[in-house]
Amino acid sequence: MRVASSLLPLAGLAAASAIGQRSSNGCSALKGNLSGATFYAGNAVYDYETQNFWSNTEIMSPGCVFRPQSSKQLAKGLQKLVKANAQFAVRGGGHMGIRGSNNIDNGVLIVMSNLTTMALSEDQSVLSLGPAYRWIDVYNFLEPYGLAVPGGRLAPVGVPGLLLAGGVNFYGNQVGWGCDSVINYEVVLADGSLVNVNQSSHPDLFWALKGGSSNFGLVTRFDIETIKSPKIWAGAHTVSAEYVDQFLEAAATYAANISDPKSHIVPALVPGDSLLASVILFYDSEDTSYPEIFKPFTDIPSISSTVGFKTLAEFATELGAMVVDDINDVFVAGTVKGTTYDELLEGISLINNTFFAELPKLYAQIPAANISTIQLDWQPIGASWMEATAARGGNALGLDASKVYLCYAEVVEWIGSAYDEIVAAWVQETTYKINNATQAAGLYDAFNYMGDAAGFQSIFPGYGAANHQKLQRVARKYDPHAVFQTLMPGGFKVF
């Protein structure tokens, strides 16, 4: 039942008024010596930055854009916003397709576009990297040196969001999550102080930033270890629908015994006019093709294949071509776990069968011409990945090295905001049914990888109770007034 606004409780009206006041106060607070970095509607910078997002889902109408020229200027701006009790959002690469995660209506949109550090240490073992970049910028910079870092797999993905979420990457079986290779963060804290965070300076915060996202401060530089990787053997191996069962068996075979740390796979099913099964194959070698560990996939006859020797930048660009700009989208994360081939195949099959059983309901409500992409993919994470994490000091994600995890992502991309609610309802119902099926089989795990999660999902309880509580303690210590929980409404919160 709709209630007239005049009958709303006074407390509700007061809360709404307070939010509106916090939104309008922010732009005013940045006047003065920060005016040159603050832009309003009608200005070319405002118009560009408020549209510089991957998905239409993220487009909103901030009151102004604050584009600091340096970390120190960002720190001053944050101090002013906090003093004014003003709401703000922060955008790095702009690839998190959840409305309000990196944008805001009426408040201040802080963009990291001018924080452009990009420099190698003298021995080339560490890359210092600002949050302005997308991963293709990083790989293009490193290519002449024959180097790589464990970053995003698709060219247009942003640097800060991926690393703060944990960071699934091609080199995970060698070095763990992307965040595990970060050895230092430069961070603006809630009080406006600028600190370096590493194993010896603020070690609790160092741990928390490895998967804890934006709950503790604004990262203005990542110092990340490099990997010698001049060329890779990689590509997409695609097979027809008649081989789907064999394809899923190959995925379970790989997951159950990830014996070669140079390898990485992303198997996916893509429905359309005809169902396709396609696996991204990655092997960190400049002279080995068709490695034995990929044989269960490469023995299946392909209808198309792009595998070959190339640079990381070339491969990220190849995969980035799959990213369609200016669409509406939702990603949903989930996980099953097991220790044997049979358990992992059962988990894959349950997810697959449930997802495809629900698809007709979506097709019945949205014209085919308005569906851009539907995809279901899996990411196996096993002992070698987690041993690499442990060797680098661990992180907040809380995975158990005695298990093999299959993180999956449901992806729907569509054209036309008229279908937003239909898709949202469908993915929530489908995810609920998948979770019920995997729970009944004893294969469900509460871990949801943040980089593939939907806004309706919870993240930090899936890290385990102890890690979740530790993250909350760290947040209270470094942000005692809950600036990043309240004034920055976007993102996944630890509370």
Structure tokens at 86: 């003003």
Clarify whether residues 434 and 349 are in a common domain: yes
Give the separation between CA 40 and CA 411, rounded to whole angstroms: 34
Clarify whether residues 223 and 261 are in a common domain: no
In-domain check, residue 491:
no
Between 420-440 and 341-363, two packed helices, what is the crossing angle to 10 degrees?
Answer: 150
Report pLDDT for 261. Answer: 98
| Cβ atoms of 59 and 100 closer than 8 Å | no
Look up the CATH number of the domain holding residue 107. 3.30.43.10
Report pLDDT for 324. Answer: 86
Report pLDDT for 24. Answer: 65
| Cβ atoms of 345 and 252 closer than 8 Å | yes
Nearest to 483 by CA among 75, 147, 149, 59: 75
pTM over 0.85: yes
Determine the structural domain holding residue 274 and report its residue range. Answer: 232-466
Give the separation between CA 349 and CA 183, rounded to whole angstroms: 39
Domain edge (last residue) among 228, 254, 283: 228
Clarify whether residues 58 and 123 are in a common domain: no
Report pLDDT for 94. Answer: 87
Clarify whether residues 215 and 270 are in a common domain: no
Contacts of 328 (CB under 8 A, 6+ apart): 55, 56, 57, 413, 414, 415, 416, 417, 419, 420, 423
Phi and psi, residue 293, nearest 5°: -65, -20
Give the separation between CA 73 and CA 67, rounded to whole angstroms: 9
Clarify whether residues 421 and 440 are in a common domain: yes
Report pLDDT for 423. Answer: 97
183, HSE (Cβ side, Cα atoms, 13 Å): 12
Domain edge (last residue) among 111, 133, 150: 111
Look up the CATH number of the domain holding residue 364. 3.40.462.20
Report pLDDT for 17. Answer: 43
64-66 and 308-310 beta bridge pairing: unpaired
Clarify whether residues 77 and 191 are in a common domain: no
* Total structural domains within the chain: 3
User: Which residues in the chain land under pLDDT 70?
Assistant: 1-24
SS3 category, 396: coil
Clarify whether residues 202 and 252 are in a common domain: no
In-domain check, residue 479:
no
Report which DSSP code applies to 180. Answer: G
> In one letter, which amino acid is 104?
I
Nearest to 47 by CA among 111, 102, 96, 90: 111
Give the separation between CA 226 and CA 172, rounded to whole angstroms: 13
Clarify whether residues 40 and 164 are in a common domain: no
Phi and psi, residue 313, nearest 5°: -60, -40
Contacts of 110 (CB under 8 A, 6+ apart): 65, 66, 67, 68, 74, 77, 88, 89, 90, 91, 218
Clarify whether residues 65 and 143 are in a common domain: no
Domain edge (last residue) among 165, 195, 228: 228
Clarify whether residues 236 and 306 are in a common domain: yes
Look up the CATH number of the domain holding residue 139. 3.30.465.10
Give the separation between CA 108 and CA 89, rounded to whole angstroms: 6
In-domain check, residue 10:
no
Give the separation between CA 7 and CA 377, rounded to whole angstroms: 48
Contacts of 433 (CB under 8 A, 6+ apart): 354, 358
